[in-house]
C-alpha cells in the first residue's frame, strides 16, 4: 500500500489534489449565525501525513497492532483548527499486506462515493500503469417482451412508487418522533455522547457472493444484506437472555440506517471527472438516508434470509424516500441552520440499531502511486449507534469492516465470525438448491 516515499517525493500530486478539491486545503469555521464555512489555509504536509516510530512499540501480533492503532485514531477527535484529514503510514507487515496506509477523513469532505472516487482517480491498473481502474456501472435493462403493456405497467409502477414512498415516509416520521428499536445486546443507550470505537475487518470471497446472487437471481447487495441478517440472528441467539427473543417467537424490531448514493452517473469516467469544474457528477455529500427493517430470527432455511433481504431491497429501490429526505434536510439546513438538521439525523440514528453500507471498489488490481494495493476497506466513527457495518469490494474479494462500541459489543470478533459463518451456510444451501434444480 502507500509508503512514505510517495508522500515526500510526489508533492506535485498532493498540490493537484488540493487544487481540484479545495476542501482538503481549507478548515471549517463557524459564523456568528451558526453557519459553517470553508476557509482556505496553508497546508503543512507534516501535520497531516503521520509516520509513527514503530521501534517504540512491542509488536508481537501485527494484525492486533493495526486493529488497536485504527481503533485509537477512530476514537480520537479531529483537530478542527486545520484541514480535516490525516494519513498514517505504518511499515508493518500483516497477514494481508506488506504495509498499511490509513486515511482519516472528516465526513464533511465527502461521502463514501466521493472518497472512493478520489482513490480511483489517484490509482492505476497494475496490468497497465497508465490506465485508470474500472468499476461496473449500474445498468437498466428494458423489458422488450412487455412493450404492448407498457402503459398499464407504467401506470401501476407510478401508483406503486407513490404508495411505497408515502408509507416509508410515514415510518420515518414515526421513527423520528418516538419509535425506537427493541433493546438488544446490539442496541446502545440513548444519549448524545462520543462513543469509543473498535474497528475490525475480515475478507470474504466475492465469487461466493456472486454464486449465491446468480442462484437466487438477485443482486450482490441483496446477498450482503441477507448475510448480515443471518449473522445478526446467530449472534443474538447466543447473547439474548430472553428465550422467546432468541428463538424468534418474540418479535424484534431491529433496523439499520443506510446511506443511498443519489448520483445517476456510476461509470468510472463520470466519477473521476467529478473533480472537474462543470461536472454533472457531484462531489461532496449527495446521499439520502433510508431505514431498513432487518429480519432477525432463527430460520430453518438459511436462504430465507436472502429472500427477505431481496424483498426489502426491491421495495426500497422503487421508493423516493432517500431523495425526498435529502431535500428535506437541505431545506431545514437553509431555514433553521446546520444544528437543526444535525439533531434530526442524530435522533433517527439514535432510534435505530446500526448503520449498513456497501461501496463498489475496483474490478482489477490497482496501484496507488506505484504501490500495489492488497485490499481496501472503510468505516465510520461517531454517531450514537453501537454498530456500523461496511462492505467494500476489491477485485475478487469483499472486505467486511465492523466499527463497534466495545462497551456495548465487547466481542466484535464473535460477531464477525457469525457473519462469515452465515455466508458459508447460505452458500451451501444455494449450492444444494442449484444441484436440485439441475436434477429436476
Rounded to whole angstroms, the Cα distance separating 290 from 305 reads 20
Distance CA 369, CA 198 (A): 30
Q: How far is CA 214 from CA 93, 99, 418, in A?
A: 36, 35, 23
Query: Quick one: cell of 236?
Result: 443474538
Q: Please tell me the distance from the alpha carbon of residue 358 to that of residue 437, in angstroms, as a whole number.
A: 31
In terms of Cα–Cα distance, which of 440, 110, 430, 100 is closest to 282? Answer: 110
Grid cell, residue 119, equals 482513490
Q: For residue 403, list its beta bridge partners.
A: 199, 388
> What is the C-alpha separation between 24 and 17, in angstroms, rounded?
8
pLDDT computed for residue 156 by the predictor: 83
* Per-residue buried b or exposed e for 198-218, using 16+ beta carbons within 10 Å of the residue's own CB: bbbbebbebebbebbbebbeb
The helix/strand/coil state of 43 is coil
Active-site residue identified among 106, 107, 413, 436: 107
Q: Which residue in the block uniquely carries the three cell numbers 490506465?
A: 131
What is the pLDDT tens value at each position of the chain, 440 positions in all? 332 232 322 333 444 455 467 888 888 887 776 677 888 898 888 888 889 888 777 788 889 999 999 988 888 888 888 999 999 989 888 888 888 889 888 888 888 777 877 788 788 888 888 887 876 555 444 444 445 566 777 888 889 999 999 999 999 999 999 999 999 999 988 776 667 889 999 999 999 999 999 999 999 999 999 999 999 999 999 887 555 555 556 678 999 998 888 876 555 555 555 555 555 556 667 778 889 999 998 889 999 999 999 999 999 888 999 899 989 988 988 888 778 888 888 899 999 999 998 888 888 898 887 888 898 888 888 778 999 999 999 999 999 999 999 999 999 999 999 999 999 999 999 998 776 565 54
Whether the Cβ atoms of residue 112 and residue 259 lie closer than 8 Å to each other: yes
The verdict on whether 436 is a catalytic residue reads: no
Residue 377 sits at φ, ψ, to 5 deg, of -140, 165
Amino acid at each position: 500500500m502507500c509508503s512514505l516515499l510517495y508522500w515526500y517525493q510526489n508533492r506535485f500530486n498532493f498540490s493537484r489534489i488540493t487544487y481540484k478539491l479545495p476542501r482538503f486545503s481549507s478548515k471549517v469555521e463557524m459564523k456568528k449565525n451558526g453557519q459553517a464555512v470553508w476557509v482556505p489555509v496553508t497546508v503543512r504536509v507534516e501535520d497531516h501525513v503521520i509516520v509513527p516510530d514503530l521501534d517504540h512499540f512491542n509488536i508481537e501480533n501485527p494484525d492486533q497492532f493495526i486493529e488497536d492503532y485504527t481503533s485509537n485514531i477512530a476514537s480520537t477527535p479531529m483537530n478542527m483548527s486545520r484541514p480535516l484529514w490525516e494519513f498514517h503510514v505504518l511499515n508493518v507487515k500483516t497477514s494481508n499486506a506488506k504495509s498499511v496506509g490509513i486515511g482519516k477523513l472528516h465526513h464533511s469532505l465527502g461521502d463514501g462515493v466521493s472518497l472512493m472516487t478520489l482513490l480511483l482517480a489517484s490509482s492505476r491498473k497494475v496490468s497497465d500503469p497508465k490506465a485508470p481502474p474500472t468499476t461496473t456501472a449500474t445498468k437498466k435493462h428494458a423489458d422488450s417482451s412487455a412493450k404492448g403493456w407498457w402503459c398499464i405497467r407504467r401506470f401501476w409502477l407510478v401508483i406503486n412508487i407513490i404508495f411505497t414512498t408515502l408509507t416509508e415516509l410515514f415510518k420515518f416520521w414515526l421513527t423520528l418522533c418516538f419509535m425506537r428499536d427493541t433493546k438488544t445486546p446490539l442496541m446502545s443507550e440513548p444519549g448524545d455522547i462520543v462513543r469509543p470505537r473498535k474497528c475490525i475487518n475480515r475478507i470474504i470471497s466475492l465469487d461466493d457472493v456472486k454464486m449465491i446472487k446468480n442462484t437466487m437471481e438477485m443482486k450482490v447487495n441483496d446477498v450482503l444484506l441477507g448475510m448480515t441478517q443471518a449473522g445478526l440472528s446467530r449472534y443474538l441467539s447466543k447473547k439474548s437472555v430472553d428465550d422467546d427473543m432468541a428463538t424468534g417467537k418474540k418479535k424484534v424490531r431491529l433496523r439499520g440506517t443506510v446511506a443511498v448514493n443519489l448520483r445517476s452517473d456510476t461509470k468510472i469516467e463520470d466519477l473521476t471527472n467529478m473533480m472537474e469544474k462543470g461536472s454533472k457528477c457531484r462531489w461532496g455529500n449527495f446521499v439520502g438516508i433510508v431505514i431498513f427493517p432487518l429480519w432477525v430470527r432463527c430460520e430453518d432455511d438459511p436462504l430465507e434470509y436472502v429472500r427477505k433481504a431481496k424483498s426489502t431491497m426491491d421495495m426500497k429501490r422503487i421508493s423516493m424516500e432517500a431523495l425526498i429526505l435529502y431535500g428535506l434536510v437541505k431545506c431545514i439546513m437553509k431555514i433553521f441552520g446546520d444544528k437543526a438538521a444535525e439533531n434530526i439525523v442524530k435522533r433517527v440514528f439514535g432510534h435505530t440499531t446500526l448503520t449498513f453500507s456497501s461501496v463498489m471498489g475496483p474490478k482489477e488490481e490497482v496501484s496507488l502511486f506505484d504501490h500495489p494495493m492488497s485490499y481496501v476497506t472503510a468505516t465510520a466513527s461517531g454517531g450514537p449507534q453501537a454498530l456500523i457495518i461496511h462492505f467494500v469490494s476489491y477485485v475478487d474479494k469483499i472486505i467486511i469492516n465492523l466499527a463497534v462500541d466495545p462497551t456495548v459489543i465487547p466481542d466484535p470478533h464473535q460477531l464477525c465470525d457469525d457473519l462469515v459463518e452465515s455466508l458459508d451456510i447460505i452458500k451451501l444451501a444455494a449450492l444444494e438448491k442449484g444441484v436440485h434444480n439441475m436434477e429436476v
